[in-house]
């Protein structure tokens, strides 16, 4: 099969086609491309395809195995659902960017070498930023620039790591890398930025809520999960990832609890869920990697569903602030039910998708002796219930009556949410459908008495704790505020210090120039004194004196050569 007919390129061709089509036809292309692409993906046999030799390098654009296949399937489903949800959008910038972004992400999971990965890696960065800029506001432009700088930095680190790794090994293959050299460490940091590791994470909370309503849904599906795939491919079994992932599951809980903007709450929750996947990659066993792939699959669905629900509310009311919402169940019942399904899924209630994927990672951590990590994941699971499972639907639909009576979400938005909600329930009820797609053979039963009892106890006590905090007034109030995170370093601290630093450099430069000019003036005056008529240098020298000076110089040269 021709390389240009590979599924990632189908998306790029569709994006180019959208540039010349009428608005309604662009919407059809946005829906049809993922279906066509997925059909083509399923026709590929396992192995390497679309291999091209360029400048002596063998580039593999389609490495098909079970790990890349499951990610490409869920990316295709997410692209279709996003296109359906965005049926009303007639903005060519968003439609072209969505297709190019989804195609680049799918290209990334099929990349068989580091050069091809780098090309698609940068493709996701360049395409996705337009989903932020599409809001066409000064704030969105500034946010998009910050997002692009960080994403390009990730690409630069990947390129630097690729070059060093090739210099060390002579190979560009994208397989297991491990932390064994400077090159693989640079690649690891590149993946960590896109995966939103702690202290590298705040681009996510900054950028995703700043995108358009439909753009946020698209953004939530691809970049971070492509990074999870890259970690699973290159760094499975790297123990440091276990502890990085554990921290990722815990710290966003506190920010999400005090956040008023519900789209930012979901962005913090996304970071929390990525932590579970990173823990699975770090453990690196077949069970853990199956858990990572399964959780990524389920997470894309229920996180998209929650972003769709909040986005539909924002579309009808113009806000996603918890302090300005409430009582919307009266006029948006379908959106409310879909939001509850997403909340139950992310909270890992039995019979919902999150339960059958999260159980794999929890069991993998316990069975391999990481008991403290297992405990951290349990605590994080309770936190998820509080800030996403309860807070999102409660403050949107059931808290104080905001007095708003918006119409139900448009029909295409409702259909997209209903399909996504059905998938969350079907996977939860019939987990074998998902397990059949996992990278390794699996014989696992999530619905055992122990699993269900432990999870239900956790959820019930977390729910009681939330009720207690609400009744006693100890729960953080939903107020309009800007919460400070790690981005304060590059958004506040550095800009505030920079003028002082610049002033210090300018002052030091001015002082050094004055000193240099003073020294030059003094040297000129001295030369003038010793060279004027009648001075020592102006008098005639005898032949004997000249010979003596020549002998001294020759001796000096001889000593230097001997040394």
pLDDT, tens digit (0-9, with 9 covering 90-100), for 31-78: 999 999 999 999 999 999 988 988 888 899 999 999 999 999 999 999
Among left, alpha and beta (phi > 0; psi -120 to 50; other), residue 220 is alpha
d(CA 503, CA 489): 20
Q: Output the pLDDT for position 439.
A: 94
**CA 149 remoteness from chain centre:** 13
Q: Return the SS3 of 363.
A: helix
Residue pair 295/357 in contact by the 8 Å Cβ criterion: yes
Confidence band (pLDDT; 50, 70, 90) for 191? very high
Which has more pLDDT, 205 or 228?
Answer: 228
CA atoms within 13 A on the CB side of 440: 15
Largest CA distance in the chain: 114
When pLDDT is averaged across residues 516-532 and rounded to a whole number, the result is: 76
When pLDDT is averaged across residues 105-127 and rounded to a whole number, the result is: 95
Q: Return the SS3 of 429.
A: helix
When pLDDT is averaged across residues 225-233 and rounded to a whole number, the result is: 95
- CA dist 555 → 46, 79, 473, 560 (Å): 78, 82, 92, 9
Contacts (Cβ under 8 Å, ≥6 apart) of 61: 3, 6, 8, 9, 49, 50, 51, 52, 107, 110, 111, 112, 116
Global pTM value: 0.86
- Report the range out of 2-6, 169-173, 397-401 with the highest average pLDDT: 169-173
- CA dist 538 → 12, 543, 544 (Å): 80, 16, 17
**CA 539 remoteness from chain centre:** 78
Residue-wise pLDDT for 427-485, tens only, equals: 999 999 999 999 999 888 899 888 888 888 888 887 887 778 777 876 666 666 666 66
Residue-wise pLDDT for 268-317, tens only, equals: 999 999 999 999 999 999 999 999 999 999 999 999 999 999 999 999 99
| Per-residue tokens: 381 | 């699971």
Residue-wise pLDDT for 339-363, tens only, equals: 999 999 999 899 999 999 999 999 9
When pLDDT is averaged across residues 415-436 and rounded to a whole number, the result is: 95
Strand partners, 64: 47
Phi, psi of 443 (to 5 degrees): -125, 85
Confidence band (pLDDT; 50, 70, 90) for 538? low
Residue labelled with tokens 């990278």: 439
- Percent of the chain at pLDDT > 90 equals 60
Residue extents of the structural domains in the chain: 1-235, 240-497
Q: Output the pLDDT for position 197.
A: 92
Within 10 angstroms of residue 13's Cβ, the number of other Cβ atoms is: 16
Phi, psi of 479 (to 5 degrees): -125, 155
Q: Output the pLDDT for position 340.
A: 94
Flag whether pLDDT at 1 surpasses 60.
Answer: no
User: Percent helix, strand, coil in the chain (nearest 5)?
Assistant: 75, 5, 25
Contacts (Cβ under 8 Å, ≥6 apart) of 23: 90, 92
Residue pair 446/291 in contact by the 8 Å Cβ criterion: no
């Amino acid at each position: 099969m021709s390389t240009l007919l590979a599924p990632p390129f189908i998306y790029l061709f569709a994006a180019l086609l959208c540039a010349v089509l009428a608005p309604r036809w662009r919407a059809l292309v946005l829906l049809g491309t993922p279906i066509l692409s997925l059909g083509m993906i399923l026709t590929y046999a396992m192995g390497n395809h679309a291999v091209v030799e360029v400048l002596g390098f063998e580039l593999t654009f389609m490495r098909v195995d079970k790990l890349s296949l499951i990610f490409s399937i869920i990316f295709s489903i997410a692209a279709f659902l996003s296109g359906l949800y965005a049926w009303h959008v007639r903005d060519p910038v968003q439609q072209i960017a969505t297709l190019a972004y989804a195609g680049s992400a799918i290209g990334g999971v099929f990349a068989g070498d580091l050069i091809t990965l780098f090309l698609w890696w940068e493709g996701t960065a360049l395409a996705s930023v337009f989903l932020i800029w599409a809001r066409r506001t000064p704030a969105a432009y500034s946010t998009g620039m910050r997002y692009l700088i960080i994403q390009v930095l990730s690409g630069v680190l990947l390129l630097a790591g690729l070059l060093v790794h090739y210099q060390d090994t002579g190979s560009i293959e994208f397989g297991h890398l491990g932390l064994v050299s400077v090159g693989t460490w640079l690649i690891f940091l590149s993946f960590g930025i896109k995966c939103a590791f702690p202290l590298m994470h705040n681009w996510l909370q900054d950028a995703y809520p700043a995108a358009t309503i439909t753009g946020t849904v698209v953004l939530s599906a691809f970049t971070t999960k492509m990074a999870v795939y890259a970690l699973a491919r290159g760094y499975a079994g790297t123990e440091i990832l276990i502890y990085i992932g554990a921290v990722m599951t815990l710290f966003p809980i506190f920010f999400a609890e005090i956040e008023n903007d519900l789209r930012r709450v979901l962005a913090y929750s996304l970071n929390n869920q990525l932590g579970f996947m990173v823990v699975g990659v770090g453990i690196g066993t077949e069970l853990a990697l199956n858990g990572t792939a399964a959780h990524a699959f389920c997470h894309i669905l229920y996180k998209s569903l929650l972003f769709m629900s909040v986005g539909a509310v924002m579309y009808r009311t113009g806000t996603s602030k918890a302090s300005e919402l409430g009582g919307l169940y009266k006029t948006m019942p379908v959106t409310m039910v879909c939001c509850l399904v997403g909340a139950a899924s992310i909270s890992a209630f039995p019979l919902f998708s999150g339960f059958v994927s999260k159980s794999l990672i929890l069991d993998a951590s316990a069975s391999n002796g990481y008991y403290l990590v297992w405990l951290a994941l349990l605590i994080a699971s309770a936190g998820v219930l509080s800030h996403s499972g309860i807070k999102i639907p409660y403050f949107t639909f059931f808290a104080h009556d905001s007095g708003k009576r918006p119409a139900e979400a448009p029909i295409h938005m409702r259909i997209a949410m209903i399909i996504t909600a059905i998938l969350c329930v079907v996977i939860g009820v019939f987990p074998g459908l998902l397990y059949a797609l996992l990278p390794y053979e699996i014989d696992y039963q999530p619905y055992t008495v122990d699993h269900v009892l432990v999870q239900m106890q956790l959820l019930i006590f977390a729910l009681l704790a939330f009720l207690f905090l609400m009744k006693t007034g100890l729960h953080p109030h939903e107020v309009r505020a800007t919460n400070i995170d790690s981005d304060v370093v590059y958004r506040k601290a550095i800009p505030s210090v920079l003028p002082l630093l610049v002033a210090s450099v300018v002052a030091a430069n001015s002082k050094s120039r004055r000193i240099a000019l003073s020294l030059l003036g003094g040297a000129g005056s001295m030369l003038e004194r010793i060279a004027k008529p009648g001075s020592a240098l102006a008098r005639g020298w005898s032949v004997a004196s000249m010979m003596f000076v020549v002998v001294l110089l020759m001796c000096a040269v001889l000593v230097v050569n001997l040394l």
